[in-house]
């Protein structure tokens, strides 16, 4: 059957402690012995069981990644960055899609605790932070990615959503737009609220007040319908700021259905800069997705290393990416 540390020890005529030492590069082992044991391990195709070592060493080298939906391109790109950065440090990652449902968050939280992951990156929203209770209860290290949770003091990496919203407003106003609409995510998502707030403030700073009738919230599914309402009303906007690329694509399709040409009849700006934006030639506020993922892993691992430390909070700047969906007011 599969070789164990005992098989190697017997084959080498040493104790399992010695084999363990050469595996982990600990203790002082004579060079010849080390080489010999290494050779035997290689020859027998032996790799130590991480389950057994985790039981004693309390390290599983596994992380959990909670996101709303791994099939959403934004989170898929985040996941890739997290995977790569984790891998670089020897960690594997479990994917956990929550659909933003507290019940799923809690189920995964309990599961990850039972699996004894070394840490969890939380990139999902939730109504009630107590869904994380199973993690908190056992002091499982966590880090927040693109989310804020004011109630808990944990390492966090976000982009400056407020500045991103403001950048969108400034871009559209510079293009001459004055009648601005906003397609936001659900009210409960703080990043979306911040984007809208930044957009509104920057608009007002330029002397433009948002018409409350032109500010709507929308889920992923009904974005096209919500956008249609905006675009078909009388006195329709000349520009729409959407709080993520998916919503912006809903707006693009609504515009098409309403017979409007983009950008001539209406400018549209998204947020995130996922592959969806590049593929649809959407002007958007880019999040540094790769750095978000990398930074979250780094913060988490640092936190695992020194649990006492005060939690860091890193804010990354968003960047306007101009493409074909926005243009000067005609």
Partner DNA sequence: CTGAAAGCGCTTACAG
Q: Which C-beta is closer to a copy of itself: that of 87 or that of 153?
A: 87
Q: Which C-beta is closer to DNA: that of 12 or that of 231?
A: 12
C-alpha pair distances (Å), 65 with each of 93, 188, 278: 7, 21, 26
| Residue 23 within binding range of DNA, rule CB under 7 A | yes
- Interacting span for a copy of itself (CB under 8 A) from 9-17, 69-77, 164-172, 236-244: 69-77
Residue with tokens 């009303």: 233
CB of 139 to a copy of itself, least distance (A): 8
CA neighbor of 118 nearest in space, from 163, 86, 161: 86
Report whether 325 contacts 280 (CB < 8 A). Answer: yes
Report whether 233 contacts 213 (CB < 8 A). Answer: yes
| Residue 79 within binding range of a copy of itself, rule CB under 8 A | yes
Binding DNA (rule: CB under 7 A), the pick from 10, 33, 107, 291 is 33
| Contact partner at residue 83 from DNA, a copy of itself, none, CB < 5 to 8 Å by partner kind | a copy of itself
Binding DNA (rule: CB under 7 A), the pick from 10, 11, 20, 288 is 20
Report whether 315 contacts 159 (CB < 8 A). Answer: yes
Residues in the chain: 330
Rg, the chain, Cα only: 25
| Residue 49 within binding range of DNA, rule CB under 7 A | yes
- Interacting span for DNA (CB under 7 A) from 20-28, 212-220, 236-244, 268-276: 20-28
| Contact partner at residue 192 from a copy of itself, DNA, none, CB < 5 to 8 Å by partner kind | none
Instruction: Compute how many other C-beta atoms are within 10 angstroms of the C-beta atom of residue 178.
Output: 15
DSSP letters for 230-249: HHHSSS--SEEEESSHHHHH
| Contact partner at residue 276 from DNA, a copy of itself, none, CB < 5 to 8 Å by partner kind | a copy of itself
CA neighbor of 215 nearest in space, from 245, 198, 232, 240: 240
| Residue 96 within binding range of a copy of itself, rule CB under 8 A | yes
Residues that bind a copy of itself (CB under 8 A): 2, 45, 47-52, 54-55, 60, 62, 69-73, 76-77, 79-80, 83-84, 92-97, 110-111, 113-116, 134, 137-138, 249, 275-276, 279-280
């Amino acid at each position: 059957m599969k070789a164990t540390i005992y098989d190697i020890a017997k084959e080498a005529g040493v104790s399992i402690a010695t084999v363990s030492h050469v595996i982990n590069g600990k203790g002082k082992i004579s060079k010849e012995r080390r080489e010999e044991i290494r050779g035997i391990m290689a020859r027998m195709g032996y790799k130590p069981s991480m389950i057994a070592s985790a039981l004693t060493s309390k390290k599983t080298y596994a992380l959990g990644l909670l996101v709303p939906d791994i099939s959403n391109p934004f989170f898929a790109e985040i996941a890739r960055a997290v995977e790569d950065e984790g891998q670089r440090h020897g960690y594997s990652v479990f994917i956990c899609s929550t659909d933003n449902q507290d019940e799923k968050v809690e189920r995964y939280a309990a599961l990850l605790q039972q699996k004894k992951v070394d840490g969890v990156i939380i990139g999902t929203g939730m109504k009630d932070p107590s869904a994380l209770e199973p993690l908190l209860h056992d002091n499982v290290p966590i880090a927040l990615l693109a989310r804020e949770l004011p109630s808990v003091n944990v390492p966090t990496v976000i982009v400056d959503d407020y500045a991103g919203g403001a950048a969108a407003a400034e871009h559209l106003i510079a293009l001459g737009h004055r009648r601005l609409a906003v397609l936001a995510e659900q009210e409960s998502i703080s990043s979306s609220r911040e984007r809208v707030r930044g957009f509104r403030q920057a608009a007002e700073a330029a002397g433009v007040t948002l018409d409350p009738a032109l500010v709507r919230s929308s889920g992923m599914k009904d974005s096209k319908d919500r956008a249609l309402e905006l675009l078909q009303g009388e006195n329709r906007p000349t520009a729409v700021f959407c709080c993520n690329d998916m919503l912006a694509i809903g707006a693009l399709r609504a515009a098409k259905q309403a017979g409007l040409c983009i950008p001539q009849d209406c400018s549209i700006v998204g947020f995130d800069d996922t592959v969806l934006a590049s593929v649809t030639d959407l002007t958007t506020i880019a999040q540094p997705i790769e750095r978000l993922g990398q930074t979250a892993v780094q913060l988490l691992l640092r936190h695992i290393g020194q649990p006492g430390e005060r939690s860091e909070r890193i804010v990354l700047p968003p960047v306007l990416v101009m493409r074909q969906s926005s243009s000067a007011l005609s």
